[in-house]
Structure 1
Amino acid sequence: MKRVAILGGGYAGMAAAVELADAGLRVAVLEAGKVLGGRARKVPLDGRALDNGQHLVIGGYRDLLAMMQRVGVDPDTAYLRTPLDLAVQPDFHLRCPAWPAPWHLAAGLARVKGLSWGERWALTRAVLGAQRARWVLPTDCSVAAWLHLERQPTRLIDCFWRPLTVAALNTPLELASAQVLFNVLRDSLGGARDASDLLFPKVDFSALFPEAAAAYVERHGGSIWLGQTVKQLARTGERWRVNDDATAFDGVVCALPPHRLGMALHRDLAEELGVDVAALESWDYQPIVTLYLEYHRAALPQPMVGLSGGLVQWVFDHGHTHDVPNRIAVVLSARGAHSELPREVLERAVAIELDRAFGWGQPDWCRLIAEKRATFACVPGLSRPANATRAPTLWLAGDYTVGDYPATLEGAVQSGRKAARGIIVALQT
């Protein structure tokens, strides 16, 4: 039985591992961390199973949902699913009814609350215009530049386009790729009725898929190695060796984060494979900061509510999803004014904004989790590497590889599956 090493136990690596295990290959996953999930993982803290972010999933993420089912995780149990419902304080509210497409979108736009007639028409005109263009721009540009061309009012940008863009692409609106935003809108608003549904995880990110995938791989004869930092990858003839281990592998899926590829692919090997490690390390990477707060009493009318005009972007209520009443998660995506504040100052500022918006007072408990390089900056014209390298038995996997989506769980799973299929073909020839 041929052996394949998976370097990295995030969503891309575990998706590749499942695909390879199903093909009858013996898989070994090497993950540097103590838990699986990579940049979407469980973070045990103060006796609580928290996450290093709040990754919202949409119904159009078919590959992720299918892969979860494949390893025995029922999406209907793991997620709270709601029709598209975007509420942004103080008064914006876009909700699509459970009608057949495209009438659900038309009804949502017609009924949107908190906008003047002029702002409502501007939003409808921009969305329907993009839909008529089949969600393709003649030339990619920043979202800010596209909004200027579409004559979108400032207030509409602040209450809808800005929070939507930063949530979808984790990149400031002034830098974010309009075409990639179009790709997300195409597969959500422009897709089937349920494609725009919002899916809120009810379990931690590691349990959502990676841990079940690990159990699946082990049942198929594979192995999972935690706490294994990949420091060197070497080619010996037609086979591969990881670190100083004597085990030889017939194939490798490198599912490390892009800024860490240089740990495994030293300069000569990277040049041989045609992988520009220096370019990937020079990319701009964007952070995600999550603050968890617990109150004596705190609740939202729905699982997620946005705030505009301050530091806070999106607020999640774990009473709706995790059966933990009075626990709130606040997400600050991408680089912004909050990035320059000391931790204690940021925590106080967020608590004040929440109190002003919802009247919750001061929290009884607060913790901050920062993922400094959560995603690559999704900018126009970014040249993303292919999964394939010049070596047919070594493939790259990760949400950063070439594809339609920004750095998402769906993009990671799609990339992992593609890399695995490439390895399978190479080992069969």
Structure 2
Amino acid sequence: MRAAIVGGGWAGLAAAVELARAGAQVTLFEAARQLGGRARSVEAHGQRLDNGQHLLIGAYRETLGLMKDVGADPERLLKRLPLELNFPAGRNSHFRMRLPRLPAPLHLATGLLGARGVSFAEKIGAVGFMRSLQRVDYRLDADCTVSTLLDRHKQNGPLRRYLWESLCLAALNTSPQQASAQIFVNTLRDTLGGGRAATDLLLPAADLEQVFPAAAARFIAAHGGQIRLSTRIEAIDDGFELAGERFDCVLLAVGPQHAASLLAGQQATAETARLLAGYGFEPIATVYCGYSPPLRLPFPMLGLAAPDSGQIGQWVFDRGALCGTPGVIAFVLSGHGAWEELDRQTLAAQLDGELSAALHTPLPAIEWQQVIREQRATFSCRPGLQRPAARTARSGLWLAGDYVCADYPATLEAAVRSGLDAARGMLRENRT
């Protein structure tokens, strides 16, 4: 079987690895000059940075398994830490919740009841909220927004802001007022409702290219596959001829907006094209600041969701503690917000001030800054959003991408799962 993969992000790479491992002749086409898609590495200011500060969690079973398969050791490339949400919002306001290394569900109950900065009533309410979701097997009667779900279960106060709403924005990249409650509940099922290790934070200890794409590319080449960088596919014709080569089947592993344009030209896939063309998107910005002398944070990942309405910070990462680049701090801003209106220097200065206020200490001077904005970082994960199937109405043409994985939001695990599922479907179809 000759298979073409269009798109070299994590979904396309996962599919290519699975197909090559099964003996298919794989050719992967990527429009950019490097692999990784929206989770790739870039060079700036003499540093190896990432196109967005991504993190993984212990529940990413397929991603971790695939990393091992291609020779990328998760234990070396990812720093595993117990889930800790730490919001040091000044002297008199500090939320902290850490899940201990205890068997599930004792780890969650202990972590919630031991949380700092919230009332005992809120803690008991949060335990009750999780138990109510477990009783209905994490299935809602009807989808709604996350805010509506939290209102319904009387989740209010600091625990709502620092735990549920922060997790929603981090996982779904969509504000709680607009995000799908069912997809959020699915993430709670597999993380807080899963085994103890499922909640662990897995923070990249190397640049993202080394975490998976580079090893995947070596695996594909070692199994006879080919990777064509800087090769943009503009159309999928009737005979599956791409860049002068003919294939038996094609997998589109590109963003929904690009998939829509490639699918629109065929009557069989026109309906899917219309569906994807109607998707909305959410932005992400990563603001890198280099401090001198090197700045160290008290924890590799801190929250900056201060209660003041004028503050914009969300998450901040110490890449010195993670990647061995002392003094490099990464601020991450997810979803639409006031930060979108700020220029690079203003954005960095405001985040610097918010971090200083949260730590209640002056910071060293910023030596350099790099702002990376992805205007269409993820699809907008709204209630009732219809997701396409991996198998299109046209025989031999498949889809992969985080938006195809119907149970999950736009995460690396969703991308990997979609790629593996599509590849396995292609193999089954080829055998019949």
The answer as to whether partners of 1:94 and 1:113 remain within 8 angstroms in 2 is yes
**Cross-structure match for 1:210:** 213
Equivalent in 375, 380, 383 of residue 383 of structure 2: 380
**TM-superposed deviation, 1:402:** 3.9
Q: Is the contact between residue 42 and residue 206 of structure 1 (CA under 8 Å) also seen in structure 2?
A: yes
Is the 2:405–2:415 contact (alpha carbons within 8 Å) kept by the matching residues of 1?
no
Structure 1 partner of 2:33: 34
Matched, 1:249 2:247: yes
Q: 1:11-26, aligned counterparts within 5 Å? A: 11-26=10-25
Q: Which moved more, 1:204-213 or 1:314-323?
A: 204-213
Aligned match for 1:428, one of 414, 426, 431? 431
Q: Name the SS for the 2:258 alignment partner.
A: helix
Measure the CA separation in 2 of the matches of 1:346 and 1:336. Answer: 12
Q: Could you give the per-residue CA deviations for residues 366-403 of structure 1, whole angstroms, max 9, x where no partner exists?
A: 11001111100111100000000122311100000142
Residue 274 of structure 1 deviates from its aligned partner by: 5.2
Q: In terms of mean alpha carbon deviation, does 386-395 or 248-257 score higher?
A: 386-395
Query: Which segments of 5 or more consecutive residues in structure 2 lack a partner in the other structure?
Result: none
Partner of 1:367: 370
Kindly state the Cα deviation for residue 26 of structure 1 after the two structures are TM-superposed.
Answer: 0.8
Q: Which amino acid aligns with 2:282?
A: Q
2:277 to 274, 277, 281: 281
Counting only pairs closer than 5 Å after superposition, residues 174-253 of structure 1 correspond to structure 2 as: 174-236=177-239, 240-242=240-242, 245-253=243-251
Name the CA shift for 1:264/1:217 in 2 (closer, same or farther; >3 Å): same
Amino acid at match of 2:67: M
Q: 1:398: which partner in 2?
A: 401
Deviation at 1:153, TM superposition (A): 1.9
SS at match of 1:233: coil
SS of alignment partner, residue 100 of structure 1: coil
Provide the C-alpha distance between the structure 1 equivalents of 2:199 and 2:61, rounded to a whole number of angstroms: 12
Larger deviation, residues 113-122 vs 65-74: 113-122
- 1:29-58 deviation per Cα after TM superposition (whole angstroms, max 9, x unaligned): 100111111111111222211111122111
Structure 1 stretch 148-157 or stretch 4-13: which is displaced more?
148-157
Q: What's the CA shift for 1:203?
A: 1.4
Indicate if the aligned counterparts of 1:142 and 1:174 stay in contact, CA closer than 8 A: yes
* CA deviation profile, 1:251-280 (whole Å, cap 9, x unmatched): 111101111114433x331x3235522331
Q: 1:261 aligns with which of 259, 262, 285?
A: 259
* Whole-Å separation in 1 of the counterparts to 2:13 and 2:235: 21
1:131 aligns with 2:127: no
User: Partners in 2 of 1:105 and 1:86 — Cα distance?
Assistant: 13
Indicate the SS of the match to 2:277. Answer: helix
Residue 318 of structure 1 corresponds to 319
1:161 maps to 2:158: no
Q: Kindly provide the amino acid, as one letter, of the partner of residue 299 in structure 1.
A: R
Determine helix, strand or coil for the equivalent of 2:265. Answer: helix
Provide the residue aligned with 1:408 in structure 2. 411
Is 1:75 matched with 2:71?
Answer: no
Question: Is contact 2:288–2:370 with CA below 8 Å preserved after alignment?
Answer: yes
Cα distance in structure 2, aligned partners of 1:248 and 1:67:
29
Determine the structure 1 residue equivalent to 2:303: 306
Residue in 1 aligned with 2:98?
95
Give the 3-state SS of the residue equivalent to 2:245 in structure 1: coil
Name the structure 1 match of 2:45: 46
1:275 touches 1:389 (CA, 8 Å); kept in 2?
Answer: no
In 1: Cα distance, 2:41 partner to 2:215 partner: 13
C-alpha distance in structure 2 between counterparts of 1:165 and 1:262, whole Å: 27
Does the Cα contact within 8 Å between 1:274 and 1:389 map onto a contact in 2? no
How far has the Cα of 1:158 moved from its partner?
2.3
- What's the counterpart of residue 171 of structure 1? 174
Look up the equivalent residue of 1:257 and give its one-letter code. Answer: G
> Which amino acid letter does the alignment assign opposite residue 115 of structure 1?
V
Q: In 2, Cα distance between the equivalents of 1:320 and 1:275? A: 48
**Structure 1: which 4+ aligned runs deviate by more than 3 Å?**
none
User: Quick one: distance in 1 between partners of 2:160 and 2:367?
Assistant: 34
Q: Distance in 2 between matches of 1:344 and 1:320?
A: 25
SS in 2 for 1:364: strand
Report the Cα distance in structure 1 between the residues aligned to 2:184 and 2:304, rounded to whole angstroms. Answer: 21
The worse-fitting range, judged by mean Cα deviation, of 132-141 and 2-11 is: 132-141
Deviation at 1:159, TM superposition (A): 2.3
Corresponding residue for 1:353? Answer: 354
Percent identity of paired positions between Structure 1 and Structure 2: 44
Q: Distance in 1 between matches of 2:338 and 2:161?
A: 15
User: What is the RMSD computed on CA atoms of the aligned residues?
Assistant: 1.4
- 8 Å CA contact 1:274, 1:390 repeated in 2: no
Aligned to 2:344: 343
User: What residue ranges of structure 1 are gaps of 5+ in the alignment?
Assistant: none
User: 1:392-420, CA deviations, whole angstroms, 9 ceiling, x for partnerless residues?
Assistant: 31110000014211001111111001111
- Give the direction of change, closer, same or farther, for the CA distance of 1:59–1:402 in structure 2 (3 Å limit): closer
> Number of aligned pairs?
421
On the 8 A contact 2:5/2:28 being kept in 1, the answer is yes
Q: How far 1:361 moved relative to its partner?
A: 4.1
Report the Cα distance in structure 1 between the residues aligned to 2:155 and 2:262, rounded to whole angstroms: 46
For 1:263 and 1:379, locate their aligned partners in 2 and report how far apart those are by CA, in whole Å: 22
Give the residue type in structure 1 aligned to 2:304.
L
Moved more, 310-319 or 130-139: 130-139
TM-score scaled by length of structure 1: 0.95
User: Are the aligned partners of 2:36 and 2:213 in contact in 1 as well (CA < 8 Å)?
Assistant: yes
Pair 275,253 (structure 1): closer, same or farther in 2 beyond 3 Å: farther
Q: Quick check: 2:290–2:369 contact (8 Å CA) kept in 1?
A: yes
- 1:28 is aligned with what amino acid? T
- The normalised TM-score by structure 2 is 0.94
